[in-house]
Chains A and B, each alone.
Chain A
Amino acid sequence: MNDMNGQTAFGLASDVSSLMEKRRRNGLVWHIVFIFSTTLAVLFLILLVFSIIDSVFGYAVLINDVEPSALVAGKESVTDFNRAELENVARTRLSAGILRRVEYDKPIAERSDKDLVSLVEEYVVKPKVLKTWGFWGSLTERKAIETYIGENEGSYATFRSWLTPSFIMADQSADPLRAGIRTALLGSLWIILITFVFAFPIGVGAAIYLQEYAVDNRLNRMLQLNIFNLSAVPSIIYGLLGLAVFVRFMEPVTSGSFIMGTVDNTANGRTILSGGMTLGLLVLPIIIINTQEALKAVPDTLRMSAYGVGATKWQTIWYQVLPVSVDRILTGTILALSRALGETAPLVVIGASTFISVDPSGIFSKFTTLPIQIYQWSARPQGAYRNIAAAAIVSLLILLLLMNSTAIYTRDKITKKKRLEA
């Protein structure tokens, strides 16, 4: 090597060092790109959460049909009215038809103050949402809100949380101020129950067959491949399957008319049973795959020792393999069920997307679910529906969180118990 010319085995020393510099810089640039991409992924999650939370709280500009001060002089809000004023307003200002219905349900004199306040607000004051702002907008656009109130005579702004206990307890309504998710929540829970009852035994059974009994032959390989394929079929296809099979073909069964004669004819087979079974088909491959994973984790020595003391195959599975893997099987099932809980498209396709304000009373009732409710509210262009959609989303996410943490909690508990027994 001749140092005078800077000659090295790889060329001129200056070339080499500039090349090394370039490679180093390239490496740095790509390192930054990788970190940037990862930050982006985290940012998406933050934005997603933020955009939802943002819509749940904020200013709403309302306008009243009749001002409370016009009902009782000097009182700005219905909640300030005393008992006599409330009863008086309710008796005098309600239209004759409504008054008769209200008195028939429960006489005004016997109603609670809170009940009367909501009665007066609903039928007399009739507040209407003109425009809403998100949390961020409420902080930064004070001027715009004030101008807006100035432009609309008689309007006023209140800072409100759209997610309230009454939002969860109220039934569906066309008025975003009174609408709630009770019907949808109950519908979701019913659907999940049916899905579980339908898919859990079949899924676990199929997984036990594939993992414990199946020999490696063509048929069993095909079964396995088919289950993987099913798990990747778009959920909307399951909706079409449910529509044709459960809603149309099996209508007498799914509408309940085969045991009870004619029941609720308006359901037309679009019942909780149909919805639950459709989602059951959807999560079946997931439950099978998850259960198989759980069974795979059971060491073979356990099976061998069971055979060694003379247990039959089923005795081995029932008394040895299943007790050891039950925690993982349950976790996998709950994960699959939380997928079903958030699923919207198949239920819309089987025709669950109608206005329903009656609580489901059994498996043959019509239903709506939380995701469908969110879909319907989000699809409306008016501002306030977006807010209640966001509030419903938060409720759905909390429900999912509860389910998943229950799964983790029970798993840990069972694992601990097993360890103590061992």
Chain B
Amino acid sequence: MKIAIEHPFGKKMRIHERLIEATLFGFALLSIVITLGIAIILIRESYLFFSDPEVELWGFLTGKEWQPMIGRFGFLPLLNATLTTSVIAMALGIPVGLFVAVYLSEYASDKTRGILKPVLEVLAGIPTIVYGYFALTFMTPLLRSIFGMETVQIYNTASAGLVIGILVLPMIATMAEDAIGAVPKELRLAAYALGGTKMETTFKVVIPAALSGLSATFLLALSRAIGETMIVALAAGAGPNLTFSPFEAAETITGYIVRISGGDVSYNSVDYNSIFALGLILFLITFTLNMISRKISRMFHQEYE
């Protein structure tokens, strides 16, 4: 005869525990919903944009003129301005940010670090609109007094680019310092033992060893620079302009989106749909950069573990 034993300590089905877990899981799933929402909305509105008889995909990708008023939809001028500001930003941000990181992790005393780290944190915490104001009221007049009023226009991509460089500087410095700090001490000691100077150790051993982490940092900074909006909206100028001169006004992708949506734009117009098409391109560019950056940084995490 079998005796059924009611086990007092067995695992109970606790309904409210399950319910809580399910709710929390739902919250976590919401992040996927947001991503899907972004993708669906950008693709849907872009589809409406490209199905407009005035717009064709090839002309969009290769056209040298962006004048929605007269039906010209070539996005090269906007892309060109975005790349100009980003390249200028990187030209300032990467070397300075990297050198600050090297100084902080290899040279600075603990006391200096204690002063400098908060400075970087403050720089990183200032809203971008403040940087935009800085570009307009400080950087542009500075450039104009250096290069001449005739060469440098009131709105120009150089000023916006340089200030974006300042904006991404603390981010580059902090992340690069982490990457450099992750290089094992043994590598440095080995280099010193072979007679390397501090500078030689830094450039020939530490930086190459941290290269994957550093490139991940730079890609993320580039993505940030491409997506930066308020600085270019204030300082780079309104109106698409295909130019390679950094001293001329030229509107970037983000600058255009902000200008059009800031005005009174009616739904279902080509203008309205065009900001989503440009948003899609922006999303694809930054998303790709972020993914590559993550891939690289994961490689680097495995390297020394």
Q: Which A residues fall within an 8 A CB radius of B?
A: 23-24, 26-27, 30-31, 33-38, 40-42, 44-45, 47-48, 51-52, 55, 201-203, 205-206, 208-210, 213-214, 222-223, 225-230, 232-241, 243-245, 248, 281, 284-285, 288, 312-314, 338, 341-345, 348-351, 353, 371, 374-375, 378-379, 386, 389-390, 393, 396-397, 400, 404
Is B60 an interface residue, CB under 8 A from the partner? no
Question: Which residues of A have CB within 8 Å of B200?
Answer: 23, 27
Chain A nearest Cβ from B79, distance in angstroms: 15
Residue of A nearest to B287 (CB): A229
Q: Does the CB pair B223–A232 fall under 8 Å?
A: yes
Q: Does the CB pair A35–B254 fall under 8 Å?
A: no
Q: Does the CB pair B230–A375 fall under 8 Å?
A: yes
Question: Which residues of A have CB within 8 Å of B145?
Answer: none
Chain A nearest Cβ from B221, distance in angstroms: 11
* CA gap between A209 and B223 in the complex, in Å: 29
Number of A-B residue pairs at CB separation under 8 A: 248
Q: Does the CB pair B261–A233 fall under 8 Å?
A: no
Q: Does the CB pair B37–A236 fall under 8 Å?
A: no
Q: Does the CB pair B24–A223 fall under 8 Å?
A: no
* CA gap between A297 and B102 in the complex, in Å: 28
Q: Does the CB pair B20–A33 fall under 8 Å?
A: no
Q: Does the CB pair A38–B104 fall under 8 Å?
A: yes
Q: Interface-forming stretch among B38-46, B62-70, B184-192, B243-251?
A: B38-46
Contact partner, B130, options A202, A203, A397, Cβ 8 Å: A397
Q: Does the CB pair A213–B24 fall under 8 Å?
A: yes
Q: Does the CB pair A205–B27 fall under 8 Å?
A: yes
**Most chain A Cβ neighbours within 10 Å, of B38, B100, B107, B127:** B127
Chain B nearest Cβ from A176, distance in angstroms: 15
* CA gap between A45 and B126 in the complex, in Å: 10
Question: Which residues of B have CB within 8 Å of A227?
Answer: 31
Question: Which residues of A have CB within 8 Å of B29?
Answer: 223
- With A41-B96, A206-B30 known as contacts, the answer to whether A371 contacts B42 (CB < 8 A) is no
* CA gap between A389 and B134 in the complex, in Å: 11
Contact partner, B282, options A210, A214, A236, Cβ 8 Å: A236
Residue of B nearest to A377 (CB): B133
Question: Which residues of B have CB within 8 Å of A341?
Answer: 127
Q: Does the CB pair A338–B282 fall under 8 Å?
A: no
Q: Does the CB pair B17–A349 fall under 8 Å?
A: no
Chain A nearest Cβ from B275, distance in angstroms: 7
Question: Which residues of A have CB within 8 Å of B38?
Answer: 233, 237-238, 240-241
* CB-contacts of B59-109 with A (<8 A): 95-96, 99-100, 102-104, 107-108
- The 0/1 profile, CB within 8 Å of A marked 1, for residues 264-279 of chain B is 0001000000011001
Additional A-B contacts beyond A237-B227, A345-B233 (11; CB < 8 A): A31-B107, A31-B199, A37-B100, A51-B138, A52-B130, A229-B287, A240-B42, A240-B279, A344-B127, A344-B129, A345-B254
Is B4 an interface residue, CB under 8 A from the partner? no
Question: Which residues of B have CB within 8 Å of A236?
Answer: 227, 229, 254, 257-258, 279, 282
Is B209 an interface residue, CB under 8 A from the partner? no
- The 0/1 profile, CB within 8 Å of A marked 1, for residues 18-32 of chain B is 001101110111111
Question: Which residues of B have CB within 8 Å of A214?
Answer: 28
* CB-contacts of B264-305 with A (<8 A): 267, 275-276, 279, 282-283, 286-287, 290-291, 294
Q: Does the CB pair B129–A51 fall under 8 Å?
A: no
Question: Which residues of B have CB within 8 Å of A240?
Answer: 38, 41-42, 257, 275-276, 279
- The 0/1 profile, CB within 8 Å of A marked 1, for residues 104-140 of chain B is 1001100000001001101101111111111011100
Q: Does the CB pair B35–A243 fall under 8 Å?
A: no
Q: Does the CB pair B199–A30 fall under 8 Å?
A: yes
* CA gap between A372 and B43 in the complex, in Å: 28
Q: Does the CB pair A37–B130 fall under 8 Å?
A: no
Q: Does the CB pair B31–A248 fall under 8 Å?
A: no
Q: Does the CB pair A41–B120 fall under 8 Å?
A: yes
Question: Which residues of B have CB within 8 Å of A35?
Answer: 103, 107
Chain B interface size band reads 35 or more
Specify the main secondary structure of chain A where it touches its partner: helix
Specify the main secondary structure of chain B where it touches its partner: helix
* CA gap between A239 and B200 in the complex, in Å: 47
* CA gap between A62 and B21 in the complex, in Å: 66
* CA gap between A351 and B262 in the complex, in Å: 6
Chain B nearest Cβ from A369, distance in angstroms: 10
Question: Which residues of B have CB within 8 Å of A206?
Answer: 24, 27-28, 30-31
Chain B nearest Cβ from A245, distance in angstroms: 6
* CA gap between A217 and B229 in the complex, in Å: 37
Q: Does the CB pair B229–A234 fall under 8 Å?
A: yes
- The 0/1 profile, CB within 8 Å of A marked 1, for residues 218-247 of chain B is 001001101111100110000000000000
Chain B nearest Cβ from A47, distance in angstroms: 6
Contact partner, B170, options A41, A237, A243, Cβ 8 Å: A41
Question: Which residues of B have CB within 8 Å of A51?
Answer: 134, 137-138
Provide 24 A-B residue pairs closer than 8 Å at the C-beta atoms, listed in order of the A residue: A23-B200, A26-B197, A34-B103, A37-B99, A45-B122, A47-B138, A51-B138, A226-B31, A230-B35, A232-B290, A233-B38, A234-B223, A234-B228, A236-B257, A237-B283, A239-B257, A285-B31, A342-B127, A344-B127, A348-B258, A378-B132, A378-B133, A378-B136, A389-B133
**Most chain A Cβ neighbours within 10 Å, of B138, B170, B200, B294:** B138
Q: Does the CB pair B37–A241 fall under 8 Å?
A: yes
Is B34 an interface residue, CB under 8 A from the partner? yes
Chain B nearest Cβ from A42, distance in angstroms: 6
Q: Does the CB pair B34–A281 fall under 8 Å?
A: yes
Question: Which residues of A have CB within 8 Å of B286?
Answer: 232-234
Question: Which residues of B have CB within 8 Å of A375?
Answer: 129, 132, 230, 233-234
Question: Which residues of B have CB within 8 Å of A233?
Answer: 38, 227, 283, 286-287
- With A229-B290, A375-B230 known as contacts, the answer to whether A202 contacts B258 (CB < 8 A) is no
* CA gap between A229 and B39 in the complex, in Å: 13
Residue of A nearest to B35 (CB): A226
* CA gap between A312 and B200 in the complex, in Å: 57
* CA gap between A313 and B108 in the complex, in Å: 46
* CA gap between A379 and B237 in the complex, in Å: 10
* CA gap between A327 and B111 in the complex, in Å: 27
Residue of B nearest to A389 (CB): B133
Question: Which residues of B have CB within 8 Å of A209?
Answer: 21, 24-25, 27-28
